[in-house]
Structure 1
Amino acid sequence: MSGYVRPGNSQPALLFPFIAGVVVVLSVLPLVRLAMTGLSALAAGGAISVLADRALWAAAYYTLVTALWGTLISVAIGAFFAFVLTLTDIPGKGPLGFLFVLPMMIPPQVTALAWVQMSGPSSPLLKALGMAPPLGSPQPLYSAGGIALLYGVQHAPLVYLALRAGLMSVPRDGVEAALLSGASPFRTFRDIVLPLALPGMIAGAAIAFVSCIGNFGIPAILGIPASIYTLSTLIFTKFSAFTDRTFGEVALLSGIIALISVVGLAVQERALGRRDYRIAGQAGARATFSIGGWKFIFLPLLAVLLFFMLVAPFLALLAGSLVPAYGVPLTFQTLSFHAFEEVLLRQTITRTAFANSLFLATVTALGLLALSVLAGYVLSRRRDAAASLVASLIEIPYALPGIVVAVAFILVFAAPLPVFNVTLYGTIWIILIAYFASFFAVSLKPVVSAYRQLDPALEEAARLAGAGFFTRLKDILVPLIAPAAGASVILVFLIACNELTVSALLWSTGTQTLGVVIYNLDDSGSSDVASALSVLVVMMVVIMMLLLEGMAKHLPAGVVPWRS
């Protein structure tokens, strides 16, 4: 036992090397392989062919334009909800916040499909209401503007959450002093609240921008039919037309996406670094403005925005799943549950997708929970540079666009594994490992937050009484962090079950996931079946979020994103 535990430390000697080794496999090795492939392509002159391709520059243009406009829309909507729901006494804050965050949890391909069903001349819902444009009218969402609009809707909750976290620390006494001095609420907001809120707004904008850059589901459904390609969809199409130069070209394109994402985050850091606000006052005491009669304006406005962001698209999706074919108006005569029968009873591919997604999500959630319990313990107890490095490496795959992570794992596992001579590419296991890398940071955050709230004296007393590490873990630590661990499982399950961007490049026959099948069904013209499957996915998302909502009072602050 003398070599099992570090002298003067309650951690097993091999625990940190084990976590570091896992991180090397999940993060360092794929990214290094991606970088090496890109450099090899550069050395072989592959960069010339990539840079000479007009498709690259067109994709880069549409990537930046749609991401910038999508970020602006996200900031406008997300900031409005954050200010109103955080700083005012408007009624119904809890339900409104829950509903506003919901679009972020819905897969982007489902969001795109719902909006397509809600607009255009073939919309079953608009036809049923007699509001459909004339036949032959263009679908307005099949455009760069449509992609940017849906980016804004999908990522506005990210701005809301980032800005709300900053607004929660605005001191109440500073606002009250300004109001008592005769300043109007508008001037108080402009001169005190808004400057303090800018760091959170900048952070939210940067997160939204990076998310737009890496989004695949929305530009795939809205852009490809209109021959509008972003970098992520261009990579997808290059894999579809595989040649001997594909790996090198895709590695270079992935590097460009990663570079754009890093630049976006660097701009955020630079902008935040120039602003240094010291907040003095009651820590955590929220500043509240009484809006009086303005609530009769703000409340309907919030309700209208939520209706068009959430309710109307879902109703259109439901209408599209209840008609025999896309473009047929929903009436009592055309009402049919055929699509749901296909999804649940007849279509082998949808049953396979459900089984695969549930398997991947369950194993990912539970496997990462086990890793997070160990890694969270190490990272919450160690304060050295090595622990900081490991924590940063865990964050990198989650921060990178999913398409980049998928390419990196293809490069690592396309060839047979040494010694074992087994190829993971084309199997469900490569998707599982990529999920582990992509969602490790999501699983770890709640667990680390829970560990840091524990009193170390509890564990120290057990150690002095002779309890070994795993005994302390089983009998003391795990029961205390159980609520956060449960939230971690639900969050990872929810994200993994609806994932598309990573699995879009990694799936093969028999390993399709729900996100892949929804995209393929819509792409093949079976929009009614795709809509029915999407309705079931949305219902699953809502149920999982309601479970998290019910657990919220037992969890550390910040674990449930939309709660205080």
Structure 2
Amino acid sequence: MVALTDRDRQGADPLRRRNRFGRPVGGGVGGGIGGRVGRGWPILLGLLVVLPVLRLLWEAGDPAILTRALAAPATWRAAGNSVAIAAGATLVAALLGGPFALLIGLTGLRGRTAMSFALILPLMIPPQIVAMAWTHLAGSGSPLLAPLGLAPRVGTPNPVQSAAGMVLVMGIEHAPLVFLALRAALRAVPGAMMEAARASGAGPWLAVRQVLLPLCLPGFIAGLAMAFVAALGNFGVPALLGVPAGIPTLPTLIYRRLAGFGPSALPEVAVLAALVGVIACLGIVAQTLLQARIGARLPGGARPLAPLPLGRARRPVEALAWTVLLLVVAAPLAALLATSLVRVYGLPLGAGTLTLGHYAEVLALDQVGRAFANSVLLSGTAAVALGLLAVPLAHAMARPGGAGRVARAIGVLVELPHAVPGVVLGIGCILLFLKPLPGLGLSLYGTLWIILAAYLARFLPLALRPVQAACAALDPTLEEAARATGAGAIRRLLTVVAPLVAPAAAAGGLLVFLTAFNELTVSILLWSQGRETLGVVVYALEEGGSPTLAAALGVVAILVVLAAMLAAGALGRRLPPGVVPWRG
């Protein structure tokens, strides 16, 4: 122990410890100017993230424009379709995601990681590619159903290009949200609760029904809320399945108004986007309240649930589960692959019709090359930037005291651009960046940087959540030891925290890359000539009457997604369960 001199005793601040060299310990973010800066930068970050949403609300608040937009019959027709289809898709998501969460979370089913991967795959694939795959599967020229005599007759409407088809496809796409929410609730249930129920004489399945499911109900409903909001803002599925059937939704109505009238339609379009946001916020509020109930009722941290035995039913249950996944995931993707390989659309796939020419042709297109370069640049930049930004923000959120409370409040705020539908953020970015930036004279409108700004705002929560989990699991004595040697806040962050949470930051960055690489809803509103993204080009090829080329490009995009998912899965072995969604 080092004894204090008289000078140290007289001049020492009792609220500030000093190290052996006489330097104050705990400076930087903890107090003084450093403390104000530490509390100030998260506030600045939160304001920058929500500025597009605030600009949209300002524009939509004009009474004359608000009255005109809300008085139009087309607005309420599209709003009614959006709510009805989103509600139907949420029901399908519950019927698919709920049982899989119970099977994978409660039983000793074999291949649970592979099942989780297959179930989550439709969420990672862009919605326009999912819709395109189902169109090729169910159409009269289906390469899978036509040889079996199960395809619709030539000239008849495609059955998935309907309200029911949109409900089915969006339900399958968003079933992973219900699955993940319910599985997280199951993990939070202490195993002792089930053991107590069993000790009182209840059988395993009676204990599940009467004890476990009521506790997990808030998590299940929170998953339904997330699925509803995601379906409400979905653009790719309604654009490819609803527009040909004459079924408008709010996202497609916004796109058609903006594409037809340009910036002059922005005031009215802002009202439509705000309407989407208001409906979505009702679901967000419900989700937040229910998640708070989960945290209060299911503390977690105890011994997990023991897997329930399936006995003789194990093999039939496994066979049924894999059959469902083959039908809803593998079959449409196989149809997409077959369409990309057939020489002429509509012909059956065989030795005489097999070709790789569509891949060579589509990859040789100038716009495809530009789109790949733009998408890699945008998604890669967003992944790296947000992965780096997430580390200090998550570390600040894990701190006790006032600075930590401010950072946690900002963490809730930055969820808003990701929670609301993409059309809300897209229109907000157009309104915010249409004119040159004050003081700089630079305009982001019509450039790649407006898309990057939207990506940074929208996908920050994806990068932040894994790092939050990693920071919460850190042993606080590690930082205390560095603090005792005189290391300031920044040095502790760089030398202690950052190396330990680097795998989580990398996993978060990969999730950002996965989501942004094929993103469509925001990009379709912000792209300009020569600045296409991959999602925009896939949509344009399908809409332009080139199904085989669009299918080939879609397959390439899926391969990129699979490679990124496998890389994230490899990182997930070093991370806590749940950081990579399909592991653990």
TM-score category (smaller protein): over 0.9
1:413 paired to 2:445? no
Is the contact made by 1:38 and 1:252 (CA closer than 8 Å) also made in structure 2? yes
Is the contact made by 2:29 and 2:37 (CA closer than 8 Å) also made in structure 1? no
- Normalised by the length of structure 1, the TM-score is 0.94
What residue number does 1:353 align with?
371
1:315 paired to 2:334? yes
1:70 paired to 2:92? no
> Of the candidates 461, 478, 487, which is equivalent to residue 481 of structure 2?
461
Letter in 1 for 2:143: P
The more displaced of 460-469 and 498-507 is: 460-469
Is the contact made by 1:10 and 1:463 (CA closer than 8 Å) also made in structure 2? no
Residues 491 and 311 (structure 1 numbering): CA distance in 2 closer, same or farther, change over 3 Å?
same
1:345-377 superposed Cα distances (whole Å, 9 cap, x missing partner)? x21111111100000011001111222122122
1:514 paired to 2:534? yes
1:548 paired to 2:571? no
What residue number does 1:24 align with?
47
Is the contact made by 2:137 and 2:331 (CA closer than 8 Å) also made in structure 1? yes
**Higher Rg:** 2
Look up the SS of the partner of 1:499 in the other structure: coil
Is the contact made by 1:168 and 1:284 (CA closer than 8 Å) also made in structure 2? no
Is the contact made by 2:137 and 2:335 (CA closer than 8 Å) also made in structure 1? yes
What residue number does 2:550 align with?
530
- Normalised by the length of structure 2, the TM-score is 0.91
Letter in 2 for 1:362: G
Letter in 1 for 2:538: I
Letter in 2 for 1:377: H
**For residues 290 and 463 of structure 2, what CA distance do their matches in structure 1 show?**
29
Alignment of 1:428-507 (within 5 A): 428-507=448-527
Look up the SS of the partner of 2:451 in the other structure: helix
What residue number does 2:8 align with?
none
Alignment of 1:219-234 (within 5 A): 219-234=238-253
What residue number does 1:14 align with?
37
Q: Displacement of 1:474 after TM fit?
A: 2.8
1:35-72 superposed Cα distances (whole Å, 9 cap, x missing partner)? 110112x2xx2223212222111111110111001000
Q: Displacement of 1:323 after TM fit?
A: 1.8
1:123 paired to 2:142? yes
What residue number does 1:300 align with?
319
Letter in 1 for 2:39: F
Look up the SS of the partner of 1:335 in the other structure: coil
Letter in 1 for 2:42: I
1:250-270 superposed Cα distances (whole Å, 9 cap, x missing partner)? 111111111111112334456
1:303-355 superposed Cα distances (whole Å, 9 cap, x missing partner)? 111001211111100011012333222221111111100222x2111111110
Is the contact made by 1:403 and 1:502 (CA closer than 8 Å) also made in structure 2? yes
Is the contact made by 1:165 and 1:200 (CA closer than 8 Å) also made in structure 2? yes
Is the contact made by 2:39 and 2:406 (CA closer than 8 Å) also made in structure 1? no
Q: Displacement of 1:126 after TM fit?
A: 2.3
**For residues 442 and 460 of structure 1, what CA distance do their matches in structure 2 show?**
29
Q: Displacement of 1:541 after TM fit?
A: 1.2
**For residues 136 and 288 of structure 2, what CA distance do their matches in structure 1 show?**
39
**For residues 440 and 276 of structure 1, what CA distance do their matches in structure 2 show?**
23
Is the contact made by 1:171 and 1:286 (CA closer than 8 Å) also made in structure 2? yes
1:80 paired to 2:99? yes
**For residues 475 and 302 of structure 1, what CA distance do their matches in structure 2 show?**
46
Alignment of 1:173-322 (within 5 A): 173-242=192-261, 246-268=265-287, 278=297, 283-322=302-341
Q: Displacement of 1:444 after TM fit?
A: 1.2
Q: Displacement of 1:495 after TM fit?
A: 0.8
Residues 278 and 158 (structure 1 numbering): CA distance in 2 closer, same or farther, change over 3 Å?
closer
> Of the candidates 25, 31, 37, which is equivalent to residue 59 of structure 2?
37
What residue number does 1:108 align with?
127
1:200-240 superposed Cα distances (whole Å, 9 cap, x missing partner)? 11011001001111111111110111111111111001101
* Stretches of structure 2 lacking an aligned partner (at least 5 in a row): 1-22
**For residues 221 and 300 of structure 2, what CA distance do their matches in structure 1 show?**
23
Is the contact made by 2:27 and 2:489 (CA closer than 8 Å) also made in structure 1? no
**For residues 378 and 277 of structure 1, what CA distance do their matches in structure 2 show?**
23
Is the contact made by 1:325 and 1:527 (CA closer than 8 Å) also made in structure 2? no
Letter in 2 for 1:322: L
Q: Percent of aligned pairs with the same residue?
A: 42
Residues 288 and 121 (structure 1 numbering): CA distance in 2 closer, same or farther, change over 3 Å?
same
Q: Displacement of 1:272 after TM fit?
A: 6.9
Residues 16 and 7 (structure 1 numbering): CA distance in 2 closer, same or farther, change over 3 Å?
closer
